[in-house]
Amino acid sequence: MLSAGIMQPEGGAQMLCERLSRIPAAQQGDNRSEPVFLTTYTPGGGMQTSGELSPLPKDISGVVPSEAGDGGKIVEIQMTTGSNFIQGVAIKNGSSRTVDISSQLKIKPDIKITDSVNPQVLIMHTHTTECYMSYYAGYYNKSDESRSKDHTRNVVAVGEAICAQLRAANIAAIHDVTVHDSPKYSGAYERSVQTVKKILEQYPSISVVIDIHRDAIYKSKTERYKPTITINGRKAAQMMIIASVGNSAAVPHPNWQQNLRFALRLQSALHTQYTGIMRPLYIVDSRYNQHLTNGSLLIEVGADSNTVSEAVYSGEILGKTLAQVLNTLKQ
């Protein structure tokens, strides 16, 4: 059972009750070069957001299609949260490096967060079309898409939920919804690195870049796993942080320890406050464009068998906890 992103060789704008269906079509195309949403905080003046949005249904998971599971079975499970915890952190080590969690947790990551009108965080998506189920019935149909440009069904909806919580915490953020994985999937990381570089050049105040994905976990060709946990009476999609600890002459990432320290703090905060929502922190040698800032991480939110509602709820939890961690790093 591997992450969909890892299996490959390359690897808010407004409050959650708003949707993206009215974004001009020209801004949704694969070649769009500017971020759609910019949420800024003005001390004493509140938040301001660009973009035209319309309401997102609170729950789009209740309509079950008439097909009787001609695709296969969905198995709802709670995946392991790990073992040998150190300050709320369990690691799955897929790298060639040994990490001392305790010592790294003691050191603050070199991330500059300030009370400013300038953007501090970028939420983006290398695999923008990765989407979720619109219903849960214990099965899926052949007609159910695993990728969609409908931003109310794909990882963009999760990004919006994260940004809404950053907004509530008065942390200025950009949510970029550039489609990097369609019409061509391969090369998505090469395309997304150019998007991020351009945004960082335009907004050098950004020190945190979160690449939001969703996983795909299969028991067999006809059985999919749905990693779910109940938090405060609501179903949420389990999440996994992926942090690169690789550094080589061919693929340099000299500041990997800064990213790791950030990942460890976020993992610890999420696990201790929302027990069961996090799969083990996955450390890998692959870089995943995390060399661009000291606060760059890849986060898998749920899997293709989770519903949009479950994934968005996890996005709320992630955004709220991310804001808490960033506030401890403010200068």
HSE at residue 289, side-chain half, CA atoms within 13 A, is 25
- Flag whether 7 is in a domain: no
Full-model pTM: 0.85
Residue-wise DSSP of 207-276:
-EEEEEEEE--EEETTEEEEEEEEETTEEEE-EEEEEE----SSS--TTHHHHHHHHHHHHHHHHHHSTT
pLDDT above 90 (res 84) = yes
Band of the pLDDT at 191, cuts 50, 70, 90?
Answer: very high
* pLDDT for res 302: 98
**By residue range, what is the domain housing residue 71?**
18-327
Question: Does residue 281 belong to any structural domain of this protein?
Answer: yes
Q: pLDDT digits over 275-300, tens only?
A: 999 999 999 999 999 999 999 999 99
Number of domains observed in the structure of the chain:
1
Whether 10 maps to a domain, the answer reads no
- pLDDT given for residue 68 in this prediction: 75
pLDDT over threshold 90, residue 121:
yes
Residue-wise pLDDT tens digits, 305-321? 999 999 999 999 999 99
Distant-in-sequence, close-in-space partners of 145: CB < 8 Å, separation ≥ 6: 131, 153
Is residue 141 a part of any domain in this protein?
yes
What CATH number is given to the structural domain containing 248? 3.40.630.40
Give the tens place of pLDDT for each residue, 20-78: 222 222 233 333 333 345 544 333 344 444 443 333 434 455 677 777 789 999 999 99
Residue 11 falls inside a structural domain: no
Asked whether residue 3 is assigned to any structural domain, the reply reads: no
Residue 13 lies in a domain: no
147 occurs within a structural domain: yes
